[in-house]
Amino acid sequence: MKIEVLYFEGCPHHLPALERIHQVLREEGGDAEVGEVLVPDAETAHNVRFLGSPTVRVNGIDIDPTAKEQTDFGLMCRRYANGIPSHELIRDAVRSASVIGGKTQ
């Protein structure tokens, strides 16, 4: 499993999002490669379909199921309660990726 956290320089929420991802992985007993992707400018934001910082993708899929319908790409903050994705949103994406990958919990 590959988890990416896309962010822009100075985002106050990207490190707390990473901490939450690692917490969920520990709780789920999941093994994943977790990486950070800096989105440096508006052109890159558009090219990588960046919906704001932090954006979390598991195996290339945004953890927010409604993200595929959104097209407002750019350098902006992503709106989550408390600034970062919820534990449940991350957990559901990790579990879904584990099932798709043929792994069992």
Q: Are 56 and 17 in contact (CB under 8 A)?
A: yes
Is pTM beyond 0.95 here?
no
Residue 77 bridge partners (DSSP): 53
Tokens encoding 46 = 């558009």
pLDDT tens for each residue of 20-43: 999 999 999 878 999 999 999 999
List Cβ neighbours of 92 (8 Å cut-off, separation of 6 or more).
63
Is the pLDDT at 104 greater than 60? The verdict is no
Q: Quick one: what percent of the chain has pLDDT higher than 70?
A: 94
φ, ψ of residue 2 in degrees (nearest 5):
-120, 125
Q: Does domain 2-100 match CATH 3.40.30.10?
A: yes
* Strand, helix or coil for residue 93: helix
pLDDT tens for each residue of 61-88: 999 999 999 999 999 999 998 889 999 9
Helices within 52-86 (DSSP H only): none
